[in-house]
Amino acid sequence: MTFCAPQGFRLAGLACGLKRDGRSDIALVVSDRPCAVAGVFTTNRVKAAPVLRDQALLSRPEPLARAVLINTGSANACTGQRGLDDAHASAALVADLLGCQPEEVLTLSTGVIGLPLNMEAMRRGIVALVPALRADGWPEAAAAIMTTDTRPKLASARLSGGAVIAGMAKGAGMIAPHMATMLAVIVTDAALPAAQLGGLLRTSVEASFNRIVVDGDMSTNDTVLLLANGAAGANVPDPDEFQTALTAVCTELAQAIVRDGEGATKFVTVEVTGAATKTDARAVARQIAISPLVKTAFYGADANWGRILAAAGYSGVDLDPARLALWLLDAQGAPAIQLVAGGEPAEYDERAAIALLQTPAWGVRLDLGQGTARSHVWTCDLSHDYVTINGHYRT
């Protein structure tokens, strides 16, 4: 799909020495005019300095933003007062170069927890970023925010009135529902007030970024920001149309994170139907999606459905095992093979099941037989490469 860039935004990404391998490691997103802004942040009680700073800035009445600075290499988490001071200093330098207030510059970080920012490299990078800003700088910025990602993640949508929503994200590991280490910056040239942006963003995040699991670990830095500068005109878009488009952009980015999960070889949709409540359905789906035994079976193309039922059984939801039914779904989400009926093995072709599980995208559907509520989670398998990547993350 062709990527569309909103009006009035410029981006840049480059290497300044934050990563030891010389890859791009710092990015800047700038609006030519002040933006209404909203954000959703990690629910982890251990929060990085940039998260604390951004949350404080966005808690002000009618906050405005002109820029977002993103660094890799260091998460700037568990770095105490020094971490907060470094985040403030980085924002102040950006503001000075752009001619705006430091409070209009948001900061995001990703990388190793407990490692302070290399401020010499940060200053060098910020000074180089500003003259490099371009309206078509999206690919460079998206590449500069990657850590264990293998590819940049971009998505966009155009509204009927001509306004555009576009975003970039990073994430491959430490991904779990309720904000999962992922970062996303989404911008639009539509005219929307901050009071409206917050609700729109929370709804879209709940339907996208809060539905993904790679490994079940929650980051200290997870952030999704939404900036609206109104450069496409003063006409406020239809809220329903904007919500649909925003959710589509968020969903494309969220699914791209799962598809690029650390060591992942399969994209798996976990559906739970027939639940008494939506909360129950989601709890069961999440438990299945984070189970190491289930995820390793996904990797091995092993139709070991007992692991799925066992994970559902310890989800905390009150289940009747005799009512459970389980299907394998094809890549389009249609039921392909029934594995369990009435809590017991169904007659199915084991070879056909293995063949389906060997394909790159499929799903499972577990019906609880208790009601009409349903939910889903997007996840991936757990391979040898995941252990290799994370066993040597710092070394």
CA–CA separation, 297 vs 302, rounded Å?
5
Token pair of 374, please?
């349903």
In 3D, which of 236, 81, 244, 233 has the Cα closest to residue 158? Answer: 244
DSSP 8-state secondary structure symbol assigned to residue 321: G
**Listed residue (182, 244, 242, 188) closest to 212, CA to CA:** 182
Measured in residues, the chain has a length of 395
Q: CA–CA separation, 96 vs 77, rounded Å?
A: 25
Indicate if 181 belongs to the active site: yes
Residue labelled with tokens 């993904």:
212
Q: Of all helices (H) and strands (E), which one includes residue 273?
A: strand 267-275
Contacts of residue 282, Cβ cutoff 8 Å, sequence gap at least 6: 177, 272, 375, 377
Which among 79, 110, 148, 181 is annotated as catalytic? 181
Helix axes 194-206, 239-259, angle to 10 degrees: 40
Looking at the DSSP assignment, which residues form a beta bridge with residue 341?
344
CB within 8 A of 86, min separation 6: which ones? 49, 76, 79, 116, 117, 119, 122
Phi and psi for 144 in degrees, rounded to 5?
Answer: -75, -20
Three-state secondary-structure class, residue 167: strand
Provide CB contacts within 8 A for 56, sequence distance 6+. none
Query: Distance of CA 371 to CAs 19, 272, 274, 338, 365, Å?
Result: 51, 11, 5, 20, 15
User: Phi first, then psi: what are they for 188, rounded to 5°?
Assistant: -145, 150
For the annotated catalytic residues, the residue numbers are 181
